[in-house]
Amino acid sequence: MYSDFIKGLIDVLGSDGVLQHPTELEPYLTDWRAIFKGQALAVVFPKTSSEVQTIVQLCQEFAIAIVPQGGNTNLTGSATPEKTGQQIVLSTKRMNKIRSIDLENQTMVVEAGCILQTIQEKAAQLGLLFPLSLAAEGSCTIGGNLATNAGGINVLRYGNTRDLCLGIEAVTAGGEVLDGLRGLRKDNTGYDLRNLIIGSEGTLAIITAAVIKLFPAPVSRCAAYIAVNDYSVIVKLLHALQKKAANELCAFEIMSKESLDLTQSHFPQFSHPIFNQSEYTLLIELAEFDQHSIAHQLLEDVLSTDLEKGTIQDVLIATSLTQVKQFWAIREHITLAQAKELGNIKFDISFEISKIGPFIQSTSQLLIARYPGIRIINFGHFGDGNLHFNLCPPIGVDQNYFTHHEESISALVYDQISLFNGSISAEHGIGQLKRDYLAKHRGNTAYQMMQEIKKTLDPKQLLNPHKVLR
Ligand code: FAD
Ligand code: MLT
Ligand code: ZN
């Protein structure tokens, strides 16, 4: 039976479009953090939406499930097939064309497998901006960004990926093409299917193309690196900038001392540019949209007053684009530094801004009391309420420390998240990592509605089964 199925795939895609050899399959069978490991019958590489459609129809016929995969940079095991070896991975790598650009409408039609950085570069060539930005942008795809509703560093000004998309084309589990490639900014015609599919992590449809929004490019970027000891100052600074430079404020990132120390220990080439003993360091970016912008001056004014009063410990405002990029390189290497530490637990969570500080304080106290020496590596997109609350085992414990304690640590942190009314996934999605926590977190009614949607749109469980929902 499988040989007929594989023959059918090769008939559609040619033999170079179907990988089967175990060593060739390898990179597609595990996630970026190498936590989850699966098996697959084959990895397939369609080039067009109609090839995706034919593959889905073939999978229907043979009852074979499909795991869509873009850049495979997700942090939740969402694009890793199950261990059964009876699923296929559908890679969008070859669907990477920019189909069209509409300068008047400020939109671009891109195929799902376009690499995010390629899209950013194309927009820049046109003198425009595609503002989605994250450390994995050199390898993640727009299809994956949409399927996870990725956030990143510019959510404060431009929103999540959902807010950057006006239309999608997708292949349904029934093998139909949903053609929604329209660049309309207003369209209230029935249920919003685009927004249902965005963020559904490949469980409801396979996205094949999208209409994305472009924006005016800033004429320059202005960034500051700020050392702060007193947590309450961080919130005041955010409010001051939102009041004085709301249109320009793009990014407001927080990095704890521990997260920077860890980064420096693995990547000593990224030296800390200012006083590095403060509890927190902020990385703030403002975009300047015209030559006469006073954003830079505003930033200087706000920060110099705080520096004089002693409410912030040190500050450095970048004087060149190279320096702006150096600041960001440090921030982006936190995740890479953590990946070098064996065994860590990641919590990608969000809160109302007022609750971030109390959550960090209370949860850290509980963790340190129960697991002496545990290292709390927190950082994140403070301006939009998204905290990356990550844990590394105490120095010197054996490699399996977290294998023994992960369940109890997760229970503690998830209880705290619900106490502070936060979300268990701000931007990375659910995948398989958080699947078993979703029902409790969202409550019975919401969870049942999600199950009903899945049953209706994918009754045979063909699309990424057992991800997001149990
Ligand atoms: P994949 O990992 O290939 O897939 C992710 C999910 O989308 C899976 O469920 C998959 O089945 C589904 N999928 C992929 N393509 C399609 C498609 N065409 N149709 C339907 N479903 C599809 N995320 C953030 O939100 N913000 C960050 O700041 C951020 N920083 C990161 C930094 C690093 C260093 C790394 C490694 C990851 C980071 N991520 C971040 C996570 C990750 O990069 C994003 O989730 C990204 O959007 C995933 O895109 P991808 O193409 O790699 O998708
Ligand atoms: C980031 O903002 O760098 C990420 O979302 C990745 C992480 O959580 O490590
Ligand atoms: Zn993030």
Considering the domain delimited by 220-339, tell me its CATH architecture: 2-Layer Sandwich (3.30)
Question: Cα–Cα distance between 303 and 296 in angstroms, integer?
Answer: 11
- The alpha carbon of 143 and the centre of ligand 1 are apart by a number of angstroms equal to 8
Query: Which of the listed residues 74, 250, 253 should we mutate to test ligand 1's pocket, taking the one with most ligand atoms within 8 A of CB?
Result: 74
Question: Cα–Cα distance between 274 and 180 in angstroms, integer?
Answer: 49
Instruction: Give the mean pLDDT of 424-446.
Output: 97
Q: What percentage of residues in the chain have a pLDDT greater than 90? A: 89
pLDDT of residue 333: 96
Closest CA to 282 of 308, 257, 246: 257
Residues 337, 263 contacting (CB under 8 angstroms): yes
Q: How confident is the model at residue 231 (pLDDT cuts 50, 70, 90)?
A: confident
Residues 5, 64 contacting (CB under 8 angstroms): yes
Instruction: Give the mean pLDDT of 215-236.
Output: 94
Query: With the C-alpha atoms ordered 228, 417, 408, 363, is the resulting torsion angle positive or negative?
Result: positive
Closest CA to 294 of 364, 241, 365: 241
Q: Per residue in 76-113, pLDDT tens?
A: 999 999 999 999 999 999 999 999 999 999 999 999 99
Q: Per residue in 45-56, pLDDT tens?
A: 999 999 999 999
Query: Which of the listed residues 388, 390, 391, 425 should we mutate to test ligand 2's pocket, taking the one with most ligand atoms within 8 A of CB?
Result: 388
- The alpha carbon of 335 and the centre of ligand 2 are apart by a number of angstroms equal to 6
- The alpha carbon of 10 and the centre of ligand 2 are apart by a number of angstroms equal to 38
- The alpha carbon of 352 and the centre of ligand 3 are apart by a number of angstroms equal to 16
Instruction: Give the mean pLDDT of 363-375.
Output: 97
Structural domain boundaries in the chain = 2-91, 98-216, 220-339
The protein residue whose alpha carbon is closest to atom 8 in ligand 2 is 388
Residue 74: is its pLDDT beyond 90? yes
How is the beta sheet containing 42-44 ordered, strand by strand? Answer: 18-19, 42-44, 87-91, 65-69
Residues 463, 205 contacting (CB under 8 angstroms): yes
Is ligand 2 within 6 A of the CB of residue 137?
no
Beta bridge partners of 212: 108, 165
Question: Cα–Cα distance between 282 and 328 in angstroms, integer?
Answer: 11
Q: How confident is the model at residue 302 (pLDDT cuts 50, 70, 90)?
A: confident
Mean pLDDT of the chain: 95
Q: How confident is the model at residue 308 (pLDDT cuts 50, 70, 90)?
A: confident
pLDDT of residue 204: 98
Closest CA to 393 of 401, 384, 404: 401
Per DSSP, the three-state class of 149 is: coil
CATH class of 98-216: alpha beta
- The alpha carbon of 388 and the centre of ligand 2 are apart by a number of angstroms equal to 7
Q: CATH code for 2-91? A: 3.30.43.10
